[in-house]
Amino acid sequence: MGSALAVATAVKGVGAVVACGGAAAALLLPHPRGRALAALIALVLTPILLIGELWDSPQMITLRHRPGVAAAGIVIGLVAVGVLAAVLRRHPWLLPPLAVFTLPFRIPLESGGQSANLLVPLYVVVAAGVVAYAWNRLVGRREPASAVAGNGSGDPGPWRDPAPGRVEIGLVVFVMLYALQSLYSTDFETALKNIAFFYVPFMLLLRLLTSIQWTRRVVYACSAIVVALAVVFAAIGFLEYATRHIFWNQKVIASNEFESYFRVNSLFFDPNIYGRFLALVMIGLATALLWPRRTRDVAVMSVLLAILWGAIVLSFSQSSFAALLVGLGVLAALRWSWRPVALAAGAVALVGAVIVIAAPHTLHLNLRSSHSIDKASSGRLDLMRGGISMFAHRPFHGFGSGAFAKEFRTREKVGSSSAAVASHTIPITVAAEQGILGLAAYAFVLVASFALLFRGLGVLHGRAPPLRLISRGYVAAAFTALVLHTLLYAAFLEDPITWTLLAAGIVLSRPEPSALRPSTSAAQTRTGSSS
């Protein structure tokens, strides 16, 4: 039995590496047909690996006892993927708006007394996109009718196959290293879940989003979708606060019973992720507000910002407040100058340090008590100490991908009911699990990403810079805010928003003069009417 389990674990480990390799090949291979085949391999292999790992879990046992329900779910999923793939093959420009729409939605699946919150709608979009992309590359490369006719409907034409840049290479290196380090992880199941639920589908999402030309129509559609979603989520959050009832997350429900404040999470499981989403949308509204084109736009944006500000306050997410401030600081630097922003940030930091040192009691802090600091940071101090200790024990290769929670509980003698799943500081989590090797890959991703997003972005003077520059400014500010949030909380490459922002930055940084410009027919119509 022991030999059989060892062989099974080895097979699953190799399968995880192959699945990540397929997603990586979809980004790196030079030939379009090879990329399409690699994407299909990753798409098919990932759920097989996941089912194999979870075969004896309570969720899978329940489904195994109800084969009719499982079969119906599979059929419905395949039909949905097929129909959506046919639509995306004809109109590939719909992929970014559909992906953006599904980014925040996690479906709670309960079975066998356990629950999981999965990005099912996004997985359907990614699967359909891969099928449409592979269909185009392997079966035929017929362009959409609207693109051939040139009727000005805004369709950007066929799928593209751009050469990978440093960002894509950095992401591939990080994910492949994560897969390889899962082979010796003390918690392979968690590593495999991260690979199957996050890294492989998100790499495929990046492949798809960077294969589409982001026209003006696409950018406006994505912007309108996220703002509308944010307003809806904010309304639900206000309702939760008014009724003192949240929909899910037992930990938050219990916390609200004992704390003097009431946190809301809207349709998000975690109030901090809810706050992160609102902060990124608010940065987008602020971007439009800094370069207004009409007075009415200023009024509308101001009202929306006021609504979302009220919503983010009710999340009581300190990391989201910090991310919002940093994102707004980047926008201010792009709009006016880096120097006054740096001076203002330094002044705020100095005042904060003086308050903490001179009057810590105003923040309910006791600098002589580590317990007080840990309580003020919601337990992060102990988590960070534990992560640093793990890194010091295995500095080169770490304890293996996904092993932080299990090792932390073992080393610190914390019960299995503890909520510790990460250090709440991404570099420490990476260091503990993957050692110096993982830290180097993580640092390369950050350096390459910031270099790409801020390349050529000086101070954007003027009342109305080109939409491409405004969009790039937003992506740079939002990504900076998101990175800060991950330093204070968690979920960097486990968040699809990270990959979507990077994909947008990659596309918008390409020297494509036709992107983000009105269609030829529309421009001719305006010219004719003015003449």
pLDDT-derived band of residue 75, with 50, 70 and 90 as boundaries? Answer: confident
Checking if the pLDDT of 529 tops 50, the result is no
Which DSSP string corresponds to 159-194? ---PPP-HHHHHHHHHHHHHHHHGGG-S-HHHHHHH
H/E stretch holding 109 reads strand 107-111
Can you give the pLDDT at residue 516? 53
pLDDT in the model for residue 414: 64
Q: Which of 113-122, 205-214, 291-300, 403-412 shows the lowest mean pLDDT across its residues?
A: 113-122
First to last CA, the chain: 83
pTM: 0.85
DSSP 24-87: HHHHH-SSHHHHHHHHHHHHHHHHHHHHHHTTTSHHHHHHHT-HHHHHHHHHHHHHHHHHHHHH
pLDDT band at 477 (very low <50, low <70, confident <90, very high): very high
How buried is 262 (Cβ within 10 angstroms: 0-12 exposed, 13-18 middle, 19+ buried)? middle
The contacts of residue 397 (CB under 8 Å, 6+ apart) are 181, 184, 434, 435, 437
Lowest mean pLDDT among 108-112, 118-122, 173-177, 207-211: 108-112
Highest mean pLDDT among 209-213, 223-227, 458-462: 223-227
Which range in 153-162, 366-375, 477-486 is most confidently predicted, on average pLDDT?
Answer: 477-486
Mean pLDDT of 108-137: 79
Q: What is the pLDDT of residue 446?
A: 95
Q: Mean pLDDT, to the nearest integer, of 221-250?
A: 90
Q: What is the C-alpha separation between 504 and 213, in angstroms, rounded?
A: 10
pLDDT in tens, 158-188: 678 788 899 999 999 999 999 999 998 888 8
**Residue 126 pLDDT > 90:** yes
pLDDT (0 to 100) of residue 113: 43
Question: Which residue has better confidence, 423 or 467?
Answer: 467
Q: Is 134 left (phi over 0), alpha (psi -120 to 50) or beta?
A: alpha
Q: What is the pLDDT of residues 408-437, one digit of tens each?
A: 888 776 655 445 556 668 888 999 999 999
Per the CB < 8 A criterion, the answer to whether 233 and 101 are in contact is no
pLDDT category at 514 given cuts 50, 70, 90 is: very low
Looking at 76-90, 376-390, 468-482, which range is the least confident one?
A: 376-390
pLDDT in tens, 355-388: 656 655 555 555 555 554 545 555 567 778 888 8
Question: Predicted confidence band at 528 (pLDDT cuts at 50, 70, 90)?
Answer: very low
Task: Examine the pLDDT at 518 and tell me if it is beyond 70.
Answer: no
Q: When comparing pLDDT for 207 and 383, which is higher?
A: 207
DSSP collapsed to 3 states, 343-364:
HHHHHHHHHHHHHHHHCHHHHC
Give the highest mean pLDDT range of 1-15, 237-251, 377-391, 502-516: 237-251
Highest mean pLDDT: which range of 70-79, 485-494, 520-529: 485-494
pLDDT at 57 over 80: no
Burial class (CB in 10 A: 0-12, 13-18, 19+), 68: exposed
Expressed in percent and rounded to 5, the helix, strand and coil fractions of the chain are: 70, 0, 25
Torsional sign, CA 36, 508, 294, 283: positive
What the block records as the tokens of 319 is 């990391």
User: pLDDT at position 189, please?
Assistant: 84
Average pLDDT value over all residues in the chain? 80
Amino acid, single-letter form, for residue 90? R
What mean pLDDT comes out for the span 189-208? 92
DSSP line for 319-336? HHHHHHHHHHHHHHHHHT
Distances (CA, A) of 221 to 146, 217, 225, 228, 474: 18, 6, 6, 11, 15
